[in-house]
Amino acid sequence: MSNTNLDQLQRDMFEVIRQPLTADERMRKRTLDGRPTKEIVERIIKPNDRLTSVERLEIYNRVYWFRILSSLADDFPGLRAVIGQRRFDKLITGYLTDRPSQSFTLRNLGSRLESWLREHPELTPKTERIALDMVRLEWADIDVFDSAELPTMAEADLGKLGEDPVLHLQPYLRLLDLKYPVDDLLLSIRGHLEPETDIASNVVIMEHSDRRREKRVSLPKPKKIYLAVHRQENEVYFKRLQPEAFALLRAIQEGKPLSAAIEVTVNWTNQKVEHITVHLHDWFANWAALGWFCHPES
Amino acid sequence: MPANRFNGYSDYGVGIGLRIPHYQHIFDKKPVVDWFEIISENFMVDGGRPLKVLDQILDRYRVVQHGVSMYFGSAEDLNREHLRRLKTLVKRTKTPWLTDHLCWGSVDGTYSHDLLPMPYTFEAAKRTAQKIREARDFLEVPIAVENVSSYAEFHVSEMTEWEFLTEVAEDADCGILLDVNNIYVSSRNHNFNPLDYVENVPHNRVAQIHIAGHSKYEKYILDTHDHPVIDPVWRLYKRAIELVGPTATLLEWDDRIPSFEEVHAEALKAKKHLPQNAAVAS
């Protein structure tokens, strides 16, 4: 077998394993491009005295889907509660079919869910916006959990940076402008969940276990919120911000010098300049106390 | 043979996998454990709690890294970003050796997150060995490859699984992580004598041994790591120790994880096979 043949064998086998399961969680009879699965599988896989070639590869087809579906169900319990189990299953199967994992770690499985969901509002009828907000929050939560942390800068040190400094925010800080108060909703949903497990292990998963944990919730009314998703002592927290504080932090995060960041904020808000300047000291003191300012990466 | 160049000339005893449900017990009780095996991918991150926990563990315990996504057997090239992150972790843990699976699992950068079985061909062995050598040269740490449980066999295979493992290990000049539970599972799924496997691998290359439980279905056995080790697997382990010598041993328990004490007690059953056989190892 040449390397080309090894490559072709793996392509053919992976194509079969990756195709979504049928409604009763079996292997499909045809591939997504219409070829008979049985023909492909029998060419590659030997039968034995108990299982046909298709039945043997079906084990891998099921394990593939159960593993990634379970992983996303663990990562996005809020989305599942918002849209319901049936829609959630359909949505994440569609997502994983269109955007299969491009990372060696399951941690990144949901990294492209927000952008994919924006292209598929038909999958979350009547809940498009809150579903999108929930996905953004849940992905930020995953991302903040293990992002880098740089040495913090104390409030006293901020004054030593000169007249118009470029401030640096911690790499783990995420800023979200949301149309629904999904932070409270997610915390409420999490109160009903099982403890976390390891992201990756050798274990073979043979059931789509998260079905047993369905929990429907009452959805909140729209209410614009501005949120910082951040970390303290290695725990992830959600902190609501005043709109102007959010705008200022976002401008700082974009790398604008302080004067330009304040100018952007003033232009962005309907409030008077005084409304911002009166809060500035308290905001900076609070953000410094939370460790959000850091020394830039050398 | 317990310490060899494939496990960094270390002399580790019986360890268990480091799992989240046990963190609190470990930090509170500080139990005596020979060593912990970590899943590398769970710690290949930039910061936060995973690394904080790892550093606390490293302060007190010996740690060996075990990977699940290097995919030496995939036809495509190694993922450089993966290797870079893995090397950063290797420097942090100072793992004396590093393990991953003799399998494939990705095509064109798309990942299955599964341990897919290899076709046992000479060309596949050659390509796999080449990638193991590349990884070892980059990571600068001994590598041992683990035999996986499998549920399918290929028409194109030209040799047995243990011959393939031998071919790869010899060509790559790497170590072997001999998983006796996986041997048992595959032997039942593919109708071969598991003792043939244990007796015919190059014993001088065995750096580590895995033991675990599995689940029996009507027509096949699955490697689920959610039960105690069954007697036939203990017998395989005993035979492996007779042939290899006392070797770093690790119990895997990854699902329906019981208390720390229960997992550790199950692992320590391996010790009864270790001392009396140390003398006969050559």
Kind of pairing between the strands at A174-178 and A225-232: antiparallel
Cβ neighbours of B127 in A, within 8 Å: 3, 6
Q: Which helix (H) or strand (E) holds A142?
A: helix A128-145
Q: Cβ contact (<8 Å) for B68 and A106?
A: no
DSSP for B103-123, written as a single string: -EEEETTEEEEEEEPPP--HH
Report CA A145 to chain centroid distance, whole Å. Answer: 11
C-alpha–C-alpha distance, residues B128 and B104, integer Å = 9
- For residue B186, what pLDDT is reported? 98
pLDDT (tens place) for every residue of chain B, 282 residues total: 567 899 988 889 999 999 999 999 999 999 999 999 999 999 999 999 999 999 999 999 999 999 999 999 999 999 999 999 999 999 999 999 999 999 999 999 999 999 999 999 999 999 999 999 999 999 999 999 999 999 999 999 999 999 999 999 999 999 999 999 999 999 999 999 999 999 999 999 999 999 999 999 999 999 988 899 999 999 999 999 999 999 999 999 988 999 999 999 999 999 999 865 443 333
> Nearest 5 degrees, angle CA A200-CA A201-CA A207?
90
Give the domain ranges of chain A.
Answer: 74-289
Q: Cβ contact (<8 Å) for B104 and A63?
A: no
Question: Tokens 């936060």 label which residue?
Answer: B48
Q: Which of B17, B153, B215 sits opposite A46 (nearest CB)?
A: B153
Within an 8 Å CB–CB cutoff, is residue A297 touching chain B? Answer: no
Q: Min CA distance, B117 vs chain A (Å)?
A: 10
Q: At what angle do helices A182-190 and A128-145 cross, to 10 degrees?
A: 70
Q: Cβ contact (<8 Å) for B113 and A50?
A: no
Long-range contacts of the stretch B271-277 (C-beta < 8 A, 24+): B271/B13, B271/B14, B273/B234, B273/B237, B273/B238, B273/B241, B274/B13, B274/B14, B274/B241, B274/B246, B274/B249, B275/B246, B277/B238, B277/B241, B277/B242, B277/B245, B277/B246
A 119-148 near B (Cβ less than 8 A): 144-148
Within an 8 Å CB–CB cutoff, is residue B189 touching chain A? Answer: yes
Q: How far is CA A280 from CA A267, A286, B121, B241, in A?
A: 16, 10, 68, 69
Nearest to A291 by CA among A149, A148, A165: A149
Specify the DSSP class assigned to residue A89: H
Within an 8 Å CB–CB cutoff, is residue B77 touching chain A? Answer: no
Nearest to B67 by CA among A202, A103, A109: A202
Closest-approach residue (CA) in chain B for A231: B48
Q: Cβ contact (<8 Å) for B47 and A14?
A: no
B 113-142 near A (Cβ less than 8 A): 113-116, 119, 121-124, 127
Specify the DSSP class assigned to residue A124: S
C-alpha–C-alpha distance, residues A144 and A139, integer Å = 9
- For residue B280, what pLDDT is reported? 38
Q: Min CA distance, B243 vs chain A (Å)?
A: 26
Q: Cβ contact (<8 Å) for B69 and A102?
A: no
Nearest to B99 by CA among B240, B274, B237, B249: B249
Q: Min CA distance, A3 vs chain B (Å)?
A: 7
Q: How far is CA B83 from CA A116, B69, B137, in A?
A: 29, 11, 11
The gap between the terminal CA atoms of chain A, to the nearest Å, is: 49
Give the domain ranges of chain B.
Answer: 5-278
- For residue B84, what pLDDT is reported? 98
- For residue A213, what pLDDT is reported? 54
- For residue B277, what pLDDT is reported? 42
C-alpha–C-alpha distance, residues B14 and A280, integer Å = 58
Q: Is CATH 3.20.20.150 the classification given to domain B5-278?
A: yes
Rounded to 5 degrees, φ, ψ at A252 are: -65, -40
Within an 8 Å CB–CB cutoff, is residue A194 touching chain B? Answer: no
B154 forms bridges with which residues in the sheet? A45
B 159-188 near A (Cβ less than 8 A): none
Cβ neighbours of A43 in B, within 8 Å: 155
- For residue A255, what pLDDT is reported? 96
Q: Cβ contact (<8 Å) for B149 and A68?
A: no
pLDDT < 70 regions, chain A: 1-4, 193-215
- For residue A277, what pLDDT is reported? 87
Q: Which of A145, A197, A202 sits opposite B20 (nearest CB)?
A: A197
Q: Which of B41, B49, B222 sits opposite A200 (nearest CB)?
A: B41
Cβ neighbours of B17 in A, within 8 Å: 201
Kind of pairing between the strands at B143-146 and B206-212: unpaired
Q: Min CA distance, B282 vs chain A (Å)?
A: 32
- For residue A269, what pLDDT is reported? 86
Within an 8 Å CB–CB cutoff, is residue B22 touching chain A? Answer: no
- Record the tokens describing residue A179, joined without a space: 């149309």
Report CA A284 to chain centroid distance, whole Å. Answer: 29
Cβ neighbours of B82 in A, within 8 Å: 104
Report CA B205 to chain centroid distance, whole Å. Answer: 13
ipTM greater than cut 0.90 = yes
Rounded to 5 degrees, φ, ψ at B25 are: -60, -45
